[in-house]
Amino acid sequence: MPQALGMMAAMQVLLYSAAWCRDCREAKRFLERHNIPYTEVDIEETPGAVDELMKHVGKQAIPQFVIDGEWVQPYRVGRGFLHEEMTERFGLCK
């Protein structure tokens, strides 16, 4: 197994999202396209999820990745999903 794939398999990724969120759907496509295992936390279905967002981010901004405990916002308003930055963050080949 290539080293990068081994690192991703050991990485714990949470995706805070909602079904209606377009950027969240793009975040899921990115993770799935790159075979990055993740656990989805639907903020509308998971008790306490919105409280966690507020605690760590200070607002109800989704999507949010939590990568090995580090909160990472994978999009920017006006730019959408940050493909290049997330490719680099996950150590993927371009």
Spacing of C-alpha 11 from chain mean position: 12
Q: What is the pLDDT along the chain (94 residues), one digit of tens a residue?
A: 344 444 555 789 999 999 999 999 999 999 999 999 999 999 999 999 999 999 999 998 999 999 999 999 999 988 999 999 999 999 997 6
Cα angle at 36 between 65 and 44, to 5 degrees?
40
41: containing domain: 3-72
Q: Is residue 55, in this structure, part of any structural domain at all?
A: yes
Q: What's the CATH number where 48 sits?
A: 3.40.30.10
| pLDDT in the model for residue 9 | 56
Q: Is residue 40, in this structure, part of any structural domain at all?
A: yes
